[in-house]
Structure 1
Amino acid sequence: MQLLVLPRIRYADGRAPPNLGAGGVMGREAAGLNLHGEAMLDAVFEHLYNAMVITDADFDGGPFFQRCNPAFCAMTGYTEEELIGQSPRILQGPETDRKVIDELERKIRAGEFFEGSTINYRKDGLSYVVQWNISPVRDADGAIVAYVSIQQDITARLAAERERSLLAEALNAATDPVIVMDKNFIIVFANNAFGREVGRPVDDILGHSAFELRPRTAEGLAEPQIRRVLAEGSPYHGVVSFEAPTGKRLHVDLSISSLIGYHDPNGHYVAIAPNITHMVEQQMVLQEMANMDALTGLLNRRSGQIALEIELQKAAESGAPISVAMGDIDHFKRINDRLGHAVGDDVLRSVAGSLRDGLRRNDVAIRWGGEEFLVFLPNTPLDDAVPLTERIRNHVATTPQIASDSVTMSFGVGQWRPGESVAAFVERIDAAMYEAKSGGRDRVVSSP
């Protein structure tokens, strides 16, 4: 039979409580007391981290405190001597929840276990929130002779919970998307702005990998770079894009920082992703305007030369053939002199449209300068490039002009030779084009 030892239980006037022997052992005579067990339980009681208190079962003005451990005294600000023989009501005050106290009294009178929380008051008058449970103690005959209560001051915990709740409310009120991820990049928190951004309810987002959105940078998928940067202990920052459920590609200014060092031993990441789609689209428009020839809508020479260098580099790495055609409008100076520059501009726009119409999906047309145009044809050997250029030449020649006679073009076309510089390649094609002009115009000459 397990014994409950209650050393030093006394009323304030020195009387022993009912059903307790002078030695303080329930269910046995004092003569049968195991002194070693009593001392051990007394030490446990004294050193228990949580506040513990024992009251009698006297409801005639009570119950009354019989034992209070040091943790309980520290929580309430009273000494044990000040508490012994007093009713727990001395800890109650104006903000103590009367309904909780009534429920407590009903349950302990009925011999039931109680658990609850309310506001109590220290000796110095300061309030605190107590969470406690109370269990009845019965003697060998089953009669309730005392109550044991374990208590905890949860004021700081509730304040922290309120702060976390306030933080969550603040994050949800923020207009920028915010998520918190664990060390495996599983989303454990997402604010409402993030849910709106990705077009999904927040509850559907939690528990999923942040990389399910497949964020991309200009170099490709962003995941490898994000993982590498964060693994090095650095924060990540960059512009990434992902496809929303609507099919629209969104661009965000993504910042990810580790929370390790902020009382987070498990390792979490916080990501903030303001939507900058409108800004990126504006920049793209401006970049396109800088790259495009305003009159014809084709790439201008500067951006076209960069594009050509990139294509030749791709061809060098892959071994795929690439051909380039250069065309010049025949007698363009005569058109300008006879019909005026406005008509000349119309002709340039018309020729640019004919070039676009004759191109395949991956072909690129450039206004190289004045009335000269460059067309490069990726993955195309010279044998295929010549008939393609002939088709473009014929399309230009058969396109009706608004204010001028029919317009023709002379073309030179050639296939790039591995190791050939861009300048040498363009010069070789240019020479073929002038050969076409000197040979009667409105024709294609190839440079093998």
Structure 2
Amino acid sequence: MTSSSTTSLPGLSADDSLLLLRASAELSFSSLLITGPDHRIIYANPAFCRMTGYSEDELAGQNPAMLQGPLTEQSVIDKMRNALDKRGSFTGSTINYRKNGRPYLVEWTISPVRDDHGQVRYFLSIQKDITQLQAEQSTGNLFAKAIDAAYDGIFITNQDGVIEFANQGFEIITGYAPNEVVGSKPSILKSGKHDKTFYKGLWRHLNAGLPFRAMVTNRHKNGDEIHCQQTITPVKNAEGRITHFISIIKDMTDRVFEELKLREQASHDPLTGLLNRRGGEIELDVTLMQALEKESPFSVLMADIDDFKAVNDTYGHATGDDVIRIVADILMDETRKTDKCVRWGGEEFIVLLPFCDRSKAMEIAGNIRTAMAGTDIPDVGRVTLSVGVAESGPDDTPASILERVDQQLYSAKNKGKNRVVAD
């Protein structure tokens, strides 16, 4: 940069030019500092004074080295001096100190102002406090690293639902690497376990600017179901318009399986794997409600092992348990997938037959009785079953239908056992 023999700007007088240049410096948001060839401060604009905390009078005649301190990088200062000696200009950044002793990160450019003979008359330094910018960048980098390192899956979509970012936790949970899903939609994870009503509720929340949280069954890349606690939060811009959605998925599969296991243990008989009495009572309530809604009957079978006490007394309880397991297997083999088999207690069993009338129930009961009677049990021989059958009526309650099927079982026992009796 060289000075001119005239200080006038095109179209302006010398006085007006100086006035305008002075005003530009005074009003500039950038910090300006002018030093002489000896690096003593000649001029500091208001922005520089605000940045450093020093007044122009306090700065006048001082060397800018007054702003240096313990954290100022000497290597940067050495490079600056070397550059000014060789090229006359320098750009760099380091830590300087305000008047109150607080450090700040400054980025500055120093350019020489030469006269018509090429001699350096002044140095013009334009400086900027980048402390906040650096902090934001550092925080942003740290934030990005934290998100990527999070164990929970995090992915971000645009307003059209296209994935723009996915972290490593997403890959751990879903099996999909980030580069496999960026540009796709979250429907890649759909398991088919949720109906239209579920997604309608989801979008009603999101379009209203509200976060949505639910247990969601997703599909892993390998095809397995993954049970996730998922939170989706809309992100709005300054105008209040939704621009992105942030989704956080937490893998709850192990917990869900554990809960299912506990529920299984609470509702199933450990010896046979059939529903226990508590589980059977719940299923009976459900079956009765379904029958009333559909105005279609269902049937109940009640089966009892004939002379089971004699088996226990003669062959021991371990053999008795084997017989009970065999009965359970026959019940499962001879009933439909929709039927519910229950170990009602001891050697007594119940089978719930939804949407099944008396005639079909008699057929199923007959097959069960025949299969049991034809089974040769090691050390025991043949063991038989007595079975009662009852078809539901429009006025039935769980207690009333159980009472009727129990009466039919009692009748089968009284008529000689190893038979089926229906109401």
Question: Which of 150, 163, 179 is the equivalent residue of 2:154?
Answer: 179
Question: Which of 33, 36, 53 is the equivalent residue of 2:32?
Answer: 53
Partner of 2:171: 195
Partner of 1:314: 290
1:371 Cα deviation after fit:
2.3
Check the 8 A contact 2:235/2:242 in 1, yes or no: no
How is 1:222-237 mapped onto 2 (pairs within 5 angstroms)? Answer: none
Q: Cα deviation per residue 1:372-393 (whole Å; 9 max; x = unaligned)?
A: 2111223434443332332222
How is 1:70-109 mapped onto 2 (pairs within 5 angstroms)? Answer: 70-83=46-59, 91=67, 94-95=72-73, 97-98=76-77, 101=80, 105=84
Letter in 2 for 1:354: I
Change (3 A) 1:54 1:170: closer
Partner of 2:353: 377
Unaligned runs of 5+ in 1: 1-16
Change (3 A) 1:230 1:423: farther
Letter in 1 for 2:399: A
Partner Cα separation in structure 2 for residue 395 and residue 104 of structure 1? 101
Partner Cα separation in structure 1 for residue 135 and residue 291 of structure 2? 65
Letter in 1 for 2:342: I
How is 1:3-402 mapped onto 2 (pairs within 5 angstroms)? Answer: 18-19=3-4, 21=6, 24-27=7-10, 30=13, 35=16, 42-43=22-23, 45-48=25-28, 50-53=29-32, 55=34, 60-61=37-38, 67-83=43-59, 91=67, 94-95=72-73, 97-98=76-77, 101=80, 105=84, 117-123=93-99, 126-132=102-108, 150-170=126-146, 176-177=151-152, 179=154, 181=156, 191-202=167-178, 204=180, 213-214=189-190, 240-252=216-228, 275-319=251-295, 321-402=297-378
Partner of 1:5: none
Partner Cα separation in structure 2 for residue 271 and residue 337 of structure 1? 63
| RMSD of aligned residue pairs (Cα, Å) | 4.8
Partner Cα separation in structure 2 for residue 198 and residue 299 of structure 1? 34
Q: Cα deviation per residue 1:82-134 (whole Å; 9 max; x = unaligned)?
A: 55676766656641525863797599758xxx865443444566542223467
Change (3 A) 1:164 1:191: same
Change (3 A) 1:380 1:138: farther
Check the 8 A contact 1:181/1:268 in 2, yes or no: yes
Worse-matched range after superposition: 301-310 or 245-254: 245-254
Partner Cα separation in structure 1 for residue 179 and residue 97 of structure 2? 40
1:426 Cα deviation after fit:
2.5
Partner Cα separation in structure 2 for residue 265 and residue 126 of structure 1? 40
1:203 Cα deviation after fit:
5.2
Change (3 A) 1:124 1:288: closer
Partner Cα separation in structure 2 for residue 329 and residue 108 of structure 1? 106
Partner Cα separation in structure 2 for residue 120 and residue 223 of structure 1? 56
Aligned identity (percent) is 37
What TM-score do the two structures reach when normalised by structure 1?
A: 0.70
Check the 8 A contact 1:367/1:373 in 2, yes or no: yes
Letter in 1 for 2:403: E
SS of equivalent residue, structure 2 residue 107: strand
1:41 Cα deviation after fit:
6.4
Check the 8 A contact 2:155/2:170 in 1, yes or no: no
What TM-score do the two structures reach when normalised by structure 2?
A: 0.74
Equivalent pairs, count: 413
